[in-house]
Amino acid sequence: TGKGVYAPSETIVVFYKNMPEYRNCWIDLSKASDGDGSYQSYNWTYSAKDGRIEFPDLGLEPGVYEVRAHFSKSNSVDKRFRFRVQ
């Protein structure tokens, strides 16, 4: 993410690199305690290997969250990155 800590109403900015150039790759934003397949929001990478995705207006509650990268249409998580909302 662009930062390690965000405010509840702030836009979450995710930078990604070296994603597979598959059409079905996607990135989600989840509570760290939620199981795979459960998420607050998601966006497709549209086959872009590197990029930036913004998650605006989520109104997240304070807590620990994860950005989760999926290399296919499935809910299988291939990479994770944690950040906080406070």
Q: pLDDT digit string (tens) for 45-66?
A: 999 999 999 999 999 999 999 9
Give the sign of the dihedral formed by CA 15, CA 18, CA 24, CA 27. negative
* Residue 2 pLDDT: 87
Q: 3-state DSSP call for residue 66?
A: strand
> Does this model's pTM top 0.85?
yes
Q: In whole angstroms, what is the distance from residue 20 CA to residue 62 CA?
A: 32
- Average pLDDT by stretches of 10, the chain with 86 residues: 94 96 95 96 96 96 98 94 98
Give the pLDDT score at 20: 94
